Amino acid sequence: MMNIMTLNNLTVAIAVPLEAEHVEAIRNANPTVTVLYEPELLPPERFPADHSGDPAFTRTPEQETRYWDMLRSADVLYGFPNENPAGLAAIASSEKLQWIQAMAAGAGGAVKAANLPDAELARIKVTSSAGVHALPLAEFAMMGALNGLKRSAELAADQAAKHWPELRTPTRLASGSHAVITGLGEIGLETARLARALGMKVSGTKRNVEPIEGIEKVTDTAGLPALVATADIVINTLPGTPYTEKMINAEIFNAMKPGTILVNVGRGTVVDEDALLEALENGQVSFACLDVFAVEPLPAASPLWEHPRVMVSPHTSALSSAENRLIAERFMDNLQRFQSGEPLLHEVDTVHFY
């Protein structure tokens, strides 16, 4: 266990692009901490919260040495080196490194992909930005649900064809509809809050089943078929793990009532895409709003691109202009916890990798 004097003389290295104002905020909030930030060693952002930065960016050999020397001198990293699993694997052998703040909410996938030895998994804490993205994801999920309820895909097709139907087709009400959310974590609960504000009834799944205020029914994964049988909308917020892979599969689609709307803002691997296409064709699913896919970028050959009742979003629903500020604030809170020896918020589970 490190003593307080050691913890108060920490070195933090910022490994990913970050606006200077947020770097200064981290410095000002923690005057006993040395914050290393060399923007010339980092790829410029192409858009807000572009943690990977411009892929065309390269470092000179001298800059590459400086970058890794800076990271290896740190007790704490803000972001994965080069924002990828290979960078994490490369830095994990640094004996000084104690903790990494990841930029992604689903950082467990990158930690798993780094294939770290057990000793390094046990020694280095990794915290995710889970929860920072809850509101934009929840708003996107509601957008997807409303698009399905209000038939926006059909309206867009009619507009493109300049077609004014003789027979008017009614839309469906959000109020009184039943939304089932797979994964009642921070994102799921924020989605539930917005759904209830629209008058929806909300049920959902949770690994540890317990009553939740405002949620009609909470079950584990085994109870999902019974839940979706009465759902008008199914919203996935679950991360991609071996336990969630293709969890929403043919069995679940067959258990749905015809016309169910599917929204996925979790991970693409949770949904069996072949089974989804079949459900779209047989009418079990009337509309799918998908921000994530099993393979990303979504291959050009995927029929999801051109399906008339599918909305494709390029894994951008979590992005907002406030993201970097919110992650920096989360990091500052956790840094105080780390210095005080308190448990860190949103530490990645190195068994289930979420």
Is residue 126 within 8 A of residue 348, CB to CB? The reply is: yes
Cα–Cα distance for residue pair 354/349, rounded to 1 Å:
6
Instruction: Respond yes or no: is residue 342 known to be catalytic.
Output: no
Active-site pick, 21, 24, 251, 296: 296
Instruction: Respond yes or no: is residue 296 known to be catalytic.
Output: yes
Opening angle at CA 147, ends 141 and 148, nearest 5: 95
Active-site pick, 267, 307, 309, 330: 267
Instruction: Respond yes or no: is residue 307 known to be catalytic.
Output: no
Tell me how far apart the terminal alpha carbons of the chain are, to the nearest angstrom: 26
Which stretch of DSSP H or E encloses residue 262?
strand 260-264
Alpha helices, DSSP H, located in 57-133: 61-72, 85-91, 107-114, 118-123
Is residue 41 within 8 A of residue 59, CB to CB? The reply is: yes
Q: What is the CA radius of gyration of the chain?
A: 22
Going by C-alpha positions, the residue among 11, 15, 10, 12 that lies closest to residue 86 is: 15
Burial of 228 (0-12, 13-18, 19+ CB in 10 A): buried
Active-site pick, 196, 315, 325, 337: 315
- Quickly tell me which residue has 């992909």 as its tokens: 113
Count of beta carbons in the 10 Å neighbourhood of residue 6: 11
Alpha helices, DSSP H, located in the chain: 4-7, 20-29, 61-72, 85-91, 107-114, 118-123, 134-149, 152-161, 186-197, 224-228, 250-255, 273-282, 323-340
Tokens representing 211 are 């009553």
Burial of 146 (0-12, 13-18, 19+ CB in 10 A): middle
Cα–Cα distance for residue pair 215/179, rounded to 1 Å:
10
Looking at the annotation, which residues are catalytic?
267, 296, 315
